[in-house]
Amino acid sequence: MDIIPAIDIIDGKCVRLTKGDYNICKTYSDNPLDMALRFQDAGIRRLHLVDLDGARSKHIVNYPTLESIATHTDLTIDFGGGIKARTDLETALGCGAHMVTVGSTAVEHPELMEEWISEFGQEHIILGADARDGKISVNGWKEDSALELDDFIGSYIKKGITKVLCTDINKDGMLQGPSVELYRQLLAKFPDIYLIASGGVSSVDDLHRLSEAGLPAAIVGKAYYEGRITLEQLSELSQN
């Protein structure tokens, strides 16, 4: 299983929210590049970089941070937050992202998302499927749509999507364990997707549970920053 540490950015700083609530925000570092270098030095190959200012502003904001990390590390970066227009996608890829995660636009403008999949290639686009109580949420998780998670993912598999990042918002930042059963059900229904689990990871045991459930990848955020999972453990898991 690919272990993907997350760096969430507000005002150029490394932060974490709880359940996506911008009012419950904790800063862990003023230097995201330093954090990214720590991951690289530990042998980690992937990074999930989230522009929380962009998600709230509905356009990319922290692209200088993306460019800095992409320039000074060899990490494979997937970037999300604020990808609302073609220019946002082009900026992210131009600043060094290997992949972009698109969520709200995939919900609100499916015809645009379909164009991007065709033009930029499915290998560069991850479908962001962020759900609260089984319904897809958009715009920095501030709004819930009427779309069912399963239907949303299924519709985009038909359009060529092969990579899906699924966050259970109720689990995010809570350190109470991931939604293993939800991911198991999704993999049973869509066995060919590269499903990235996000939200709730609190320990190495949680990562083992996700791996045993067949998850090809999992994001680690708050558990690392709060010392529940050490850098050495992430390094060891990344080498396996």
**8 catalytic residue (yes or no):** yes
Residues 199, 157, 78, CA angle at the centre, nearest 5°?
A: 45
**Ranges of H-type helices in the chain:** 32-41, 52-57, 63-72, 86-94, 104-108, 110-120, 149-157, 180-189, 204-212, 222-225, 231-239
Do residues 86 and 43 make contact, with C-beta atoms less than 8 angstroms apart? Answer: no
Q: How far is CA 215 from CA 35, 96, 195, 201, in A?
A: 25, 26, 6, 13
Q: What is the DSSP string of 175-214?
A: -S---HHHHHHHHHHSTTSEEEEES---SHHHHHHHHHTT
Q: Which of 51, 130, 168, 206 is catalytic?
A: 130
**2 catalytic residue (yes or no):** no
Q: Which of 8, 53, 88, 168 is catalytic?
A: 8
The residue count for the chain: 240
- Burial tier of 150 (Cβ tally within 10 Å: 0-12, 13-18, 19+): middle
Helix (H) or strand (E) holding 3: strand 2-10
Q: How is residue 174 annotated by DSSP?
A: T
Q: At residue 11, what is the residue type?
A: D
Question: Parallel, antiparallel, or unpaired for β 99-102 and 2-10?
Answer: unpaired
Residues marked active site are found at 8, 130
